[in-house]
């Protein structure tokens, strides 16, 4: 029962954020475009709850990604004022510390997609396809990479359909001709880190309890 209340709380928080950030976004057309896939995804996630329920951890990871996505949709990804936020609150220039010349919020979200979605994808694959062990991690990584590529194709098609203004706002390349490649690479790196973190407890247990002579298979 606690899980239902917890998920309802996450859903309510996301709905409140969605409603608040829907008020006067930086670019209404881009906001609508950015949220089209989100609405479809949330509806599909809700409909799949009974037949394919995920763990509370998976839903939390998905929530964090969607929460950050809504911030990017409100400001447009290339104009999220994280630099001004950190300077006003902490007196720190993030771009200055990291040596960045561009707004990196879109790169953060592509990295976050791999980091935050690798485990939910693995969990879904294990339940639907009966995968386990290393195969679950492998196909979760492959699916992160494939969906990252698919999203870049969707961005390209949107840019072709809607022209330079809305198309460029949706792409958020900021003049980087390698933007799509870097975005896909960051999603892959994020997924690899998530997989490594998921494997740490297993490796820790094996290191703490190495196999003994009695536990090894014996020759006949």
Segment 50-103, tens digit of pLDDT: 888 999 999 999 999 999 999 999 999 989 999 999 999 999 999 999 988 889
Examine residue 166 and state whether it is found in any structural domain, yes or no.
Answer: yes
Domain that holds residue 10: 2-206
Pairwise CA distance, residues 151 & 110, whole Å: 10
CA 62 and chain centroid, separation: 7
Domains held by the chain: number: 1
Query: The whole model's pTM is what?
Result: 0.86
Residues 180-203: tens digit of each pLDDT = 899 999 999 999 999 999 888 777
Are residues 170 and 34 in contact, defined by beta-carbon separation less than 8 angstroms? Answer: yes
> Interior CA angle at 44 toward 107 and 12, to 5°?
75
**Residue closest to 108 by CA, chosen among 53, 153, 68, 61:** 68
Examine residue 124 and state whether it is found in any structural domain, yes or no.
Answer: yes
Pairwise CA distance, residues 117 & 146, whole Å: 13
Examine residue 155 and state whether it is found in any structural domain, yes or no.
Answer: yes
Residues 139-166: tens digit of each pLDDT = 999 999 999 999 889 888 877 787 666 7
Examine residue 110 and state whether it is found in any structural domain, yes or no.
Answer: yes
Pairwise CA distance, residues 17 & 67, whole Å: 8
> Interior CA angle at 56 toward 19 and 33, to 5°?
35
Decide: helix, strand or coil at residue 130. Answer: coil
First vs last C-alpha separation in the chain: 52
């Amino acid at each position: 029962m606690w899980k239902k209340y917890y998920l309802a709380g996450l859903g309510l928080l996301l709905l409140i954020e969605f409603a608040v950030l829907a008020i006067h976004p930086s670019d209404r057309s881009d906001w609508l475009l950015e949220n089209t896939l989100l609405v479809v995804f949330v509806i599909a996630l809700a409909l799949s709850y009974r037949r394919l329920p995920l763990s509370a951890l998976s839903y939390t990871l998905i929530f964090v990604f969607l929460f950050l996505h809504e911030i990017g949709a409100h400001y447009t990804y290339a104009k999220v004022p994280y630099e001004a936020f950190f300077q006003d609150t902490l007196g720190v220039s993030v771009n200055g510390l990291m040596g960045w010349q561009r707004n990196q919020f879109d790169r953060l979200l592509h990295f976050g997609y791999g980091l935050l979605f690798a485990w939910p994808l693995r969990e879904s694959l294990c339940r639907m396809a009966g995968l386990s062990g290393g195969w679950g991690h492998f196909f979760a990584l492959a699916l992160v990479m494939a969906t990252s590529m698919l999203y870049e194709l969707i961005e390209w098609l949107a840019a072709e359909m809607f022209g330079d203004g809305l198309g460029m706002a949706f792409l958020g390349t900021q003049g980087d001709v390698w933007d799509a490649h870097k975005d896909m690479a960051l999603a892959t790196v994020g997924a690899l880190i998530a997989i490594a973190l998921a494997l740490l407890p297993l490796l820790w247990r094996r290191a703490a309890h190495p196999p003994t002579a009695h536990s090894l298979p014996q020759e006949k």
